[in-house]
A = this chain, B = another copy of it.
Amino acid sequence: MSTIRDVAKYANVSVATVSRVLNKKGYVSKEAEEVVLKAIEDLDYRPNAVARTLYNKSSRMIALITPDITNPYFPELARAIEDVSLSYGYTVVLCNTDDDEEKEQQYVSVLKQKYVDGIILITNQQFNSDLEQMNVPIVALDRILSEKFPAVVSENENGAMMATEHLIDCGCKFIAHLRGPIGLTSAEDRLKGFQKVVQDKGVASIVVNTDFHFEKSIEVTTRLLEDHPTIDGIFSSNDITAAGAMKAINNLGKSVPNDIQIVGFDGIPLGKMLIPSLTTIEQSIYKMGALGARLLIKQIENIHLEANLYTVPTKLLIRGTTKVKGED
């Protein structure tokens, strides 16, 4: 690989002039510019990104810290972030933490050493005291971490209300809510929305815990339905647990949506593959990721953010697990 000094020598100018041409910064004469561009062309010169990073203290990389990319909710987020980043000339570093605080710390430390310009953070850890110490821009996604970091979240409460109202509209008299992990703001908000509506409309309800995983959901739902055979509607805090509920219902010999109707939450591709396909609250996952990335890049470029909390709308997607005529 040729260096800027090779180019300078070839073009009979100084490295400063070459650098000025490269960065379109400072005074350069037409002739000098031409001869430099020709030299760059002839030598197939590409500036060394690492040397630039060292001086500028900016790597044009942003990190995506996520609990587990294997969770079907995250790839779409990652995709959006990657798309936006690329269009602004940033590269994305992938970090899986399993919500392990130590791993998170380790990553943050390594990332800082590499001069990453910003971090998109999805985590359940609350005590990010050392994160706050870091002077790197951070955007939280899907959950609110602290007032210090801008966050992008879905209209969880609103979505949950739509889901619950829809079940009631479809004739459900006893609705269960499979809630998500305790402490997760998104799950809490969905619970809140659910409770508001059932209380408001005076519909019988019950809430049980899940950890957002499929197997656990089967187990929980099975027990739930054995204990309460009159349940005729389930609002599940995510699509995976909704799939688990469907499996449990099927195992018990009941039918969806005839005996029990279900509404999920997320709008991941899985939903449409189930039989019947899943009525769900669709989050604009891609939009969330894209917005998060844009906000992060704005911060990196020192553009002031107007707000600290951004919400993206949710939408009721009526499909086959509720009895109003949907696409299924």
Contact = CB atoms under 8 A, between A and B. Distances in A.
Interface string A92-108: 11111000000100000
Contacts of A275: 246-247, 250, 274-275
Contacts of A86: 103
A109 B45 CA distance: 12
Contacts of A149: none
Interface residues of A, number: 51
Q: Determine how many copies of this chain the complex contains.
A: 2
Report whether over half of chain A's contact residues are helix, strand or loop; otherwise say mixed. helix
Contact of A94 (B68, B82, B246, B247): B82
A110 B49 contact: yes
Given A68-B79, A273-B274, A50 B59 contact: yes
Contacts of A277: 247
Interface in A39-66: 46-51, 53-54, 59, 61, 64
A270 interface: yes
Contacts of A103: 86
A191 interface: no
Contacts of A326: none
A83 B69 CA distance: 11
A75 B112 CA distance: 25
A214 B273 contact: yes
Most buried by B among A61, A68, A247: A247
A293 interface: no
A10 interface: no
Contact of A75 (B69, B91, B93): B69
Given A250-B275, A275-B250, A96 B82 contact: yes
A258 interface: no
A78 B68 CA distance: 10
23 contacts: A46-B113, A48-B54, A48-B113, A49-B110, A49-B114, A50-B53, A50-B54, A50-B59, A50-B113, A50-B115, A51-B54, A69-B78, A69-B82, A70-B75, A70-B79, A74-B75, A82-B94, A244-B273, A250-B275, A273-B274, A274-B274, A274-B275, A275-B275
Given A49-B110, A93-B93, 13 more contacts: A50-B53, A50-B113, A50-B114, A50-B115, A61-B93, A69-B78, A70-B75, A72-B75, A74-B75, A82-B96, A91-B110, A92-B94, A247-B277
3 closest A-B pairs (Cβ-Cβ)? A49-B113, A243-B273, A94-B94
